[in-house]
A and B are shown apart, each in its own frame.
Chain A
Amino acid sequence: MHDRRSFLKLGAGAAVGGIAAALPSAASATECASNIKWDETRDIIVVGSGFAGLSSALNAKRQGLGSILVLEKMQVIGGNSAINGGWLAIPKNPIQLAQGINDDSPEELVKDQIISGRGMQNTDMLRQMANRALDAYQLCIDAGVKFREGFNQQVGGHNKARAIRTQHGVGGDITTKLYEVGKKEGVEYRLQHYVEDFIMDGQQIVGLKVRQNYRFPDLKTGKTIYIKANKAVILAHGGFSRNLVLRELVDPALDKTLDCTNALGATGEVTLTAMAHGAFPVHMSFIQTGHWGSPDEGGFGWSNALLSIGFHKGISVNVLDGKRFMNERADRKTCSDAIMKNRHPDGSPAYPVVFFNHDDHIGAEEVTRAVRDQIAWKVDSFEQLAKQFNIPLAQLKQTVAEYNKQVPQRIDPLFGRMMDTAVELKPPFIVSRIWPKVHYCMGGLKTDLGARVLHSQTLAPMKNLYAVGEATGGTHGGTRLSSTACLECLTMGIIVAETIKSDMQA
């Protein structure tokens, strides 16, 4: 526990410091473009090195847009993208077609996203993204990314099997390849470069005030330099799930009881800096939680893998009353909201449990590793399960008995769960505790279809300022459909390069 706690403390400290750093100081009011002594000049500066930044930089270079500089505040490339699950939703992907699924299409993906977005999504943005999905796939293939052979699955909220997955099941399979290709093609990458402020000429961005040799999260490290951007600044700095202060300000339900799946650097100061210069924010309070989280491990963890079994083959139970409380196969928001209602009278979490049959999964990696790491336990009887997790025994038995009656009927009258994968439950069980973790910010900077950042007063694009990926808002609406974040980042990286090229020619 020591390692995880110390890292989490570090993250919390960064969050507090991050807020202060993001607010332009009084001195910056005098730093207008005409007074600046530039230390360096590039054609395009990309802020952030996740999927969106890597795709933007590589595609900008390929569009012949000149010198491209990527700034990353951390000591390693990749952001959250490097640690994500490597899923990519691609309608009409080659594996899908080989499986004989011929009735999928970009429009089918958009339909699923509209349901997920709860009517608050930007349908034009979604449609554009879906229509370019195969381009994103090709970008990966051309860079040497390998996907699992014959692997194409239907994942949460999708009506079709269209999600492929990288060979190792991590986003690092993509980030490392895009980074390598970018270097070969002449993109320049700088680590430990923290964006302190924008240098504006009216509503046009002309460059950045950057802290060079910055050491996260110490805001006093490094030295200040000014980098001029001749053509564009592309913001690809990701979301703010790690910023405890900011996320609780915009959604008070996301308090400190919720851990976070994100990399430590996901603190979102650049979003606040952009807002301070007039960028228009949208849906800032729409923050997605991963319902698969475990309070017994830090960060993204292994719980996701374990619960890929638990939510299909098992049930979730409120430890306070011994009853089921949700459709275990609903989307992230529905499940998270239901889980977070499990509270003691004092408001502290009463972590629910998920359990499934041990004997059906002997030797499964998901189980073996979870038990080894003590995020799951084997219990031999209802009595042991009730005792270990302080669950009312009689009600627990009744809950399982009622559920088992529903399994052969393939119906769930309580919550409407899809029962096609359900099995009757009998001890011994594998059991784990669950609690959501803050995962993804649907909100962020408002952009147009070309990734131009809109100004909050004129509602027109801010000249030379663009944003892509999780740093932007409004596209996904109420909640993001799984396996579409990577798709968005990669496609918008393609599109922003096309936009800048056409804007330069205008």
Chain B
Amino acid sequence: MLKPVFILLLGFMLATPMAANAMNIKDYHKEVMTGADGKVDCAACHGDAKRKTVPDAATCSSCHGSPQEVAKQTQRPADAGHSVEPNPHDSLHYGTDLPCTYCHQEHKESKVYCNQCHEFTYPQMKR
């Protein structure tokens, strides 16, 4: 539950033009990654080192749960045929080992990694 002071800060931040060199951030992450000073906490995903790292599964898991837990949320019915898309988080090729960032991109449009070879459609996927 956001306290009123954070709501005010959030409103203020949204009303302020974003800095020219700022990375685009998804709205659903902006809410939780904006600190009391109105700035986005880049270190939350990228770490404190000067040379930023690409987030690994552990980073995403700190909020979203383990890859296995995420896979359960997108589980398909046991008797589903080819008309139901495969579970994107539990691949027949890689199990639950695919890095989150293979598909989910924070600073640009996300894409379905599987569609190098397949033509899966996931309309509920946040892009």
With A78-B94, A172-B94 given, is the CB distance from A365 to B115 under 8 Å?
A: no
Q: Which segment of B1-9, B11-19, B26-34, B96-104 sits at the interface?
A: B96-104
Residue in contact with B116 in the complex, picked from A7, A75, A82, A372, CB distance below 8 Å: A7
Report Cα–Cα, A39/B115, bound state, in Å.
Answer: 39
Within the assembled complex, what's the spacing in Å between the Cα atoms of A300 and B112?
16
B6 to chain A, nearest CB (A): 35
Q: Does A333 contact B (CB under 8 A)?
A: no
Residues of chain B lying within 8 A (CB to CB) of residue A213: 53
A83 touches B83 (CB 8 A): no
Known: A75-B102, A76-B97, A368-B83. A298 touches B92 (CB 8 A): no
* Nearest chain B CB to A87 CB, angstrom units: 15
* Closest-CB distance, A257 to chain B (whole angstroms): 18
Q: For residue B64, give the distance in angstroms from its CB to the closest CB of chain A.
A: 18
* CA of A264 to CA of B98, assembled, Å: 14
Q: Does A40 sit within 8 A of B, measured CB to CB?
A: no
- B92–A168 touching, CB < 8 Å: yes
Chain A residues, CB < 8 A from B82: 365, 368-369
A contact residues around B112 at 8 Å (CB): 3
B119 interface residue, CB < 8 Å from A?
yes
How far is A78 from B97 in the complex, measured between Cα atoms in Å? 10
**Measured CA separation A299–B116 after assembly (Å):** 6
Query: Once the chains are docked, how many angstroms separate the CA of A173 from the CA of B92?
Result: 7
Q: Chain A 439-471, CB within 8 Å of chain B: the 1/0 string?
A: 000000000000000000000000000000000
Which residues of chain B have C-beta atoms less than 8 A from A175's C-beta?
93
Given contacts A4-B116, A368-B83, contact A172 B102 (CB under 8 A): no
What is the total number of residues of chain B having a CB less than 8 Å from a CB of chain A?
Answer: 21
Chain A residues with CB under 8 Å of B80's CB are none
Report if A389 contacts B (CB, 8 A).
no
Residues 60-85 of A at the B interface (beta carbon under 8 Å): 75-78, 82-83
Q: Is the CB of A6 within 8 A of B111?
A: yes
Instruction: With both chains docked as a complex, state the minimum distance between the C-beta of B105 and any C-beta of chain A, in angstroms.
Output: 12
Hey, which chain A residues are within 8 Å of B81, CB to CB?
A: 365
Task: Quote the shortest CB–CB distance from B79 to chain A (angstroms).
Answer: 14
Is the beta-carbon distance between B119 and A373 smaller than 8 angstroms? yes
Whether B93 pairs with A82 at a CB distance below 8 angstroms is yes
Closest chain B residue, CB of each to CB of A374: B119
Closest 9 CB pairs between A and B?
A299-B117, A172-B93, A373-B119, A3-B115, A82-B93, A7-B116, A75-B99, A176-B95, A365-B82
Instruction: List residues of A whose CB falls within 8 A of some B CB.
Output: 2-4, 6-8, 75-78, 82-83, 168, 170-173, 175-176, 213, 215, 261, 264, 297-302, 365, 368-369, 372-373
A-B contact pairs, 16 of them (CB 8 A): A2-B111, A3-B111, A3-B116, A4-B116, A6-B111, A78-B93, A83-B93, A170-B93, A172-B92, A172-B94, A175-B93, A261-B117, A299-B116, A302-B118, A302-B119, A373-B119
Residues of chain B having any CB pair with chain A under 8 Å: 53-54, 81-83, 91-95, 97-99, 102, 111-112, 115-119
Supply 7 further A-B pairs (C-beta < 8 A) apart from A172-B93, A264-B116, A369-B82.
A3-B111, A4-B116, A78-B94, A82-B93, A215-B54, A299-B117, A300-B117
